[in-house]
Structure 1
């Protein structure tokens, strides 16, 4: 009788383990293959993104280079314009300085011309003068001639002074200088011992300008001429008239003293 033996439990277990191992190995292999595909895709995508970023970076860099180049060109043009403006400003500044110099020269010439005109006008135009406290209008030549005659008198050249004042009165009969000229003419005649001629001119002064500042002196001078002519009576009458007509004058004081000596 043959004996049939059943497989041992260990054998079944070993077979199951072996089958499981085979299945696991197959699963692992499949998983590994899947993971490799994913990795390749991920790497490819990464490379694509990297390449895209690189290209984008190059594009941006190129744009920036173009912008910088444009800015440099703009700056160069601006610098050129600035230099041109500086040159223009310098040119205009030079022109302004030249214009200022020309203007100053014109103003100086204008001032010189105006002064020259004023001087010429002063030589020919009548001007206000003041003599013996009286103001009036006189021509420049009239003033010069009077001053010239007076200067001769002050130098003690009485004959020449007499001639100069007589000529002045003849040339300027309506002059505001006339009363004073008559006074000095009379004094020159008195110094030249022409007493009658002096009396005539002193009286002409009193007739024309009885209120003239020189009038009291003229009356006193008439009395002096009368004394020189030995006309004491006439001198006393003249001195009395002086004291009555001009009591507050210095000439009146002198007249009183001379009256005391004549009486």
Structure 2
């Protein structure tokens, strides 16, 4: 009997401890489940972040590719302008043409004839032109040849025309050299240098047949620089002063495009 009384508290304590253990196990299990849910949530967030990073890299790659394509299109457009200038010069051969004829198509210089007795002073003055050395012609032709569409050595053309202008500042080809120097800078997207070349042509050779083309390209460059008012004024100058030139229609089209933007 005594033994039973002694064992009763012991069993009670044992049952209580087992219950406490079960309760602790349940609490621990719940904590583990909460932690697992949190870890799972964090894992999902990490996966989402990684997916966003991957998408961002893909989009960045697409943007870079589109920028590269746009740059190539812009360069191609400039090359087309240059080629168009050359073709206009070859087809028309007019004094107001935007481009000079190719060197091999330019007429050879004819030695000035001796004045005929009784001829007018105007006739005598028109038959005399400044002499041009063979080296001068060769240097110009070498620089111009670099612009050939099959070569497109624009840096060589820039160096060649700059060297020509430094060596022959009084040459009757100086205005041509300045124009094609501006075109070379324009194609290579050096707008600041191109604008300087065209401005120099307009200032030093206001009577040159390259003036309409120089004004047209100046308008293009000013538009690209965001100077819309100056660009419109320059392009309008082409229409006002050279309405029959080969570039007048191009100036008109550009002005129309600018108004639609």
Normalized per residue, which structure has more helix?
Answer: 1
Q: TM-score normalised to the size of structure 1?
A: 0.48
The structure that has the greater radius of gyration is 1
Q: TM-score normalised to the size of structure 2?
A: 0.48
The structure showing larger relative contact order (alpha-carbon pairs under 8 Å, at least 6 residues apart) is 2
